[in-house]
Chains A and B, each alone.
Chain A
Amino acid sequence: MQKNAIFQSKLLPFVLVAPQLAIVLIFFYWPAIQAVIQSFLLQDAFGLSTSFVWFDNYADLLGQPDYFQAILRTFGFSFAIAFSSLSIALLLAVMADKPLRGVTLYRTLLIWPYAVAPPVVGVLWIFMLHPSLGVISRYLRAMGIDWNPLLDGDQAALQIILAAAWKQISYNFLFFLAGLQSIPKSVLEAAAIDGARPMRRFWTVTFPLLSPTIFFLLVINIVYAFFETFGIIDTMTRGGPGKSTETLVYKVYTDGLLGGNLGSSAAQSVVLMVIVIVLTAIQFRFVERKVTY
């Protein structure tokens, strides 16, 4: 944690940590604590008096079918996005890990979508899947599929998942490639000498050795789906049709815009915080285990 060789000074270290500490206290702890306090308070309709109501706001929130639906939907989106983009990225990474000519070019051409912002991803995919503007929609209709994500909630959800998974491929690809390259070649050669065919080598040797990377990416992808899909949803569907693409973060945003119940909005924030803290804790525990292993 600390060096043996250090400087002696009473004041200087405090001066050095002061800027970051100030910013963290003002823009992180203060609002986070405000959210927690407010989530236990109830304001009357005129904002004149507030009373302490223990967990009433949480009980109300979790009692709303809308909110419960949004939780399920968010996790559903997360797993669908994680699963589809992880499998495509793994396939591409395994191919790019082979000693092929032009492999560095392939890598460059596959990683750049990382830099595309979520709202831009949404706009790009409007031109793929919008019922009247979309290029793919034309073919879907020619094939006799009644494609209209502006009216059909399931189709709207599907297009958000496709767009978000598309964006996430490059990130996963990069980490899979790094993971594959860190697998010692000798292990694979040993398996080959034992007569294992390539497919078998992949499932019995490569895949298990890659499992730390897969788990790490799974958690990261779920967190990504929680927060970064906001931009995609906001440009593509704005939560609709109905509430079919309203995730937890999107709900916090729209409920806040409407104003109204401060306590309930704060409770929503706290629920989000708890979910993220749990996910991060899982990841940290896992990373530690990987270190000892």
Chain B
Amino acid sequence: MVEQEGIRRYVAHAILWIGIAVVAFPVYLAFVASTQDNAVIANGQMSLLPGGHFLSTYYQTIFVGTSGSTREPVATMLLNSLIMALLIAVGKIAISIISAYAVVYFRFPFRMAIFWLIFITLMLPVEVRIYPTYKIVADLHMLDSYAGLALPLIASATATLLFRQFFMTVPDELLEASRIDGAGPLRFFWDTLLPLSRTNMAALFVILFILGWNQYLWPLLITTRDDMQTIQIGIRKMITTTDALTEWPVVMATAVLAMLPPVFVVVVMQRLFVKGLVETEK
């Protein structure tokens, strides 16, 4: 019986390591490809070990860009992605926390109607209303702008619901106490509720940052200028339809650079990430 337990344990370890290998292999391959010579890759002769072009490829990718299709250095794309992801995360948290505060702590006309108006947005991602939204953003002259990249993606209820849920669990005594101290609604929000919401805000920030960083279809439509491209769009534009012209080491270096920030966030802030993921999906 005990012996069998031991065997089972080895099997579990083995299965987990196989799983990890399957998950990691494509990424390892991307890194290897980014360090090799383009001609070798294009011939299908890529080695499974890193090559000697690491520094030159990454220097070219970050500061120069590809020599053909898009000439934009990836540093610009990284900056655009960073600004968009931060705008989405911070913007969504900011507008959501104050509207959740209003819905939970005040009684006002149309309160439920407004709550439902916001709640329904939970159901429809931007993809299903993509061209009408495009037209509105174009009419507002927001194509090729950070506002145009971020605002339509902020229009969703996940964060509002999460904060509402959390505010409902905050004991009423806290409000009574701060009222006795003479604090008004804004004071109570700033001094009591915000500090209590810190963990929730951080967890939400981690998730929204990753979602923002990984946006694809929307930026693809509304950015036309090369210097407004996010990194995800940059990758796609580097892949030319005639495979022979694609500079694969640069493409793969860009892919590796595109993965680094969100993967770093997941690994380093794992507890917040898991909390944010589990709570936003409920």
Residues of A within 8 A of B (CB): 2-7, 9-10, 12-14, 16-17, 19-21, 23-32, 34-35, 38, 88, 91-92, 95-96, 98, 100, 106, 108-120, 123-128, 130, 132-135, 138, 166, 169-171, 174-175, 178, 198, 216, 220, 227, 230-231, 234-235, 249, 252-253, 256, 265-266, 269, 272-273, 276-277, 280, 287
Contacts and interface: CB of A to CB of B under 8 A. Distances in A.
Contact of B41 (A16, A34, A108, A133): A133
Contact of A227 (B127, B151, B160): B127
Contacts, number: 275
Nearest to A102: B13
B105 interface: yes
18 contacts: A9-B108, A19-B98, A27-B155, A30-B136, A111-B270, A111-B273, A115-B262, A115-B265, A119-B236, A124-B255, A127-B33, A133-B243, A135-B48, A166-B22, A235-B236, A266-B132, A272-B127, A280-B123
A265 B251 CA distance: 33
A24 B118 contact: yes
A32 B99 CA distance: 22
A38 B239 contact: no
B103 to A, nearest CB: 7
Nearest to A12: B185
The 6 A-B residue pairs with the shortest CB-CB distance, nearest first, are: A31-B132, A115-B262, A117-B214, A16-B102, A13-B106, A124-B26
B182 interface: no
A117 B23 contact: no
A166 B22 CA distance: 8
B15 A26 contact: no
B75 interface: no
A273 B128 contact: yes
B124 A120 contact: no
B127 A14 contact: no
